[in-house]
Amino acid sequence: MKIINKFNTFLVVNKSISYAIEKSSSNSFKLMQKAGENAAKQIIQNYKKQKTLIICGIGGNGGDGFIVAQNLLNKNWDIDVVILGNKNKIKGDALKAFKKLKIQTKDFDDIDLSKVDLFVDAIFGLGLSRDINNKTKKILKIIDKHNSPIVALDIPSGVDSNTGKICGYAPYCELVITFSSFKYGHILTPGSEKFSKIKVENIGIEKSILSNISPKIEINNPNHWLTSINWPKIDDHKYSRGYSLIIGGPKNMTGATRLAASAAQRAGSGIVYVATEKEAEQIYYITLISQIVKSYRNIKEYNNIISDKRINSVLIGPGLGANKSAISKIRYLLKINKSTVLDAGAISCFKGKLELLKKLILGKKVIITPHEGELNSIMPSLKGNCIDKALKAASELKCIVILKGATTVIASPDNKALVNQAGAKWLSTAGSGDVLAGIICGLLSNKMECFLASAFGVWLHSEVGKYLGPGLVAEDIPENIKIIYKKLLKSYN
C-alpha cells in the first residue's frame, strides 16, 4: 500500500469511532458534500477526463458517490451512474445528495462496459459487516476483471472496515480515497491487499476532535521516532553506546541467541554479552566474534553476570525452553530492573501463569514480543483483531506489547498503539523473530525510550525484509541493517 498524502495524523480508527467523528459535526450533509467534492478533485488530479461509471449503494457511501458524480459532471466528464439496491430506500443525507444529481441513473445491465475507462466504487463504505449478496458479488467480479482501474470511496466494497475481512468478494482498487483517518480495514490483511494507493482527505473535522480520540492508533513511520534515535557522537566508546546482555539458549538452541546477539550489535549496541550455561559455552566461543561470552554453572554465577551495573538492556527468550528454570532466570533478571525484552520461550513459559507474569513485570521496563499463538497461550480470553488484542494485552500486563504478524502492532499501556503495515512477507522465516528481539534490545541499550525503540525496531526489521526480498534467511537481516540506517541518516541530516 502506498500512502499518497502527508495527512498530519495518520490516525487509524475503528468503525464506531469513525461514526463518532462524523457525528461531532453539527452538519452531517456538509461533511458528505466535502467528502464528495474532495474525492472528485482527487479523481480529476489522478486521471484524465474519460468515460466513468460510478456505482452507488443506497447508504452514505452511495451519497458520497452521487456528489462525486455531480462534481465530475460539472467538469464535463462523461459519466454514468448505477444504483445497486432499491432507490426508494435511499434516505437522509444520501437522499439529499441523490436529489442534487442532474443525470438519470441506469441499470448496470444497460451499460456498455467496453466503453468504460474508469470505475468509481461507492457501494458499501464502512458499514458492511455481512457477506454481500450474489447480485452485487457478480457485479464486483465483472468490474474487477475489467481492464479499467477502480477508485473506491472510503474502502473497497466487500472489505469489513473493522477487521479487514473480505465479506464474500472485494475488487482490487487502484486508488482508495478515504476521509479524516485510516480505518482498521485499510491496514489489516486481507483488506490491505485490495488496493494499491490510498489518500486521506480532510473534510473539515476539527483537529482537536481527532487529537482527543482514544485509543490513539497511528501508522508506524519515522515521524514518530526519527528524532529520538541516539546516533553515535564523536567521543562515544563501546560502553557509552550501550551494553546489551542476551541470555543464551541451551546447547541445542544456540542459533536463536546468536542471531539476536548479532542483531543487537548491528542495531547500535556498543557491546553485547551472551550469558550461557556452561554446557553450551564452546558453541558460543567458537561462533561468536565481536560479542563476548560469559558462562555460568549455577544460579549464583548467573546472578553475578546479570548484576553488572554497566548493563543497559537485557533480552531473554530466544532458544529458551518453557520450563521452571526459565521462569527462575526471568525472576532474577527482572530484579535488576533494566530495560528488558521477553521473547519466545520467555513468554510461553507463563502459559497458565498469567498472574505470576503480571506480578514479576509490574513497575518494570518490559517489552514482550509475542506472535498471536504465544499471546493466546498466556491470555486465551483475548478477543478481536490484532490491534484490539495488543491494546488489551498492554493494558492488562502494564507493559509494551509487540504483537507480531503480517500487520505488527506496538501497543502501550496508556491506550496508544503504532501499527506497522503489512508488506515484508519475506520475513516469514525461522529466526526472523529472534533478530527483531535483538534489534530492540540493541536500541534499548542506546537508552532509547521503550515504546519508541519498539516502534523503530519493528520498522527497521520490516524495511530490511522489504529491501532483501525473495530468498532472505534470518542471518541476512543483521548484515543489512546498515543499508536502512544509511538511508535514515540521510533523511535525518
Domain ranges of the chain: 2-212, 223-492
- Per-residue pLDDT, 492: 66
What is the DSSP-derived secondary structure letter of residue 228? G
* Assigned C-alpha cell, 268: 547500535
Name the region of 180 (left: φ>0; alpha: ψ -120 to 50; beta: rest).
left
pLDDT tens per residue, range 156-200: 999 999 999 999 999 999 999 999 999 999 999 999 999 999 999
32-36, 68-72, 204-208: the lowest-pLDDT one: 204-208
C-beta separation of 432 from 371 below 8 A: no
What is the chain's mean pLDDT, rounded? 95
| Reported confidence tier of residue 127, pLDDT bands at 50, 70, 90 | confident
CATH numeric code, 223-492: 3.40.1190.20
- Per-residue pLDDT, 211: 87
Q: Are strands 271-277 and 292-296 parallel, antiparallel or unpaired?
A: parallel
What is the spatial distance between Cα 130 and Cα 18, in angstroms, rounded to a whole number?
A: 18
Q: What percentage of the chain reaches a pLDDT higher than 70? A: 98
Q: Which helix (H) or strand (E) holds 334?
A: helix 324-335
CATH numeric code, 2-212: 3.40.50.10260
Strand-pair partners of 368 = 342, 401
| Mean pLDDT score, 212-237 | 94
From residue 429, alpha-carbon distances to 67, 75, 167, 286, 406 in Å are: 47, 52, 30, 25, 12
| Mean pLDDT score, 42-64 | 98
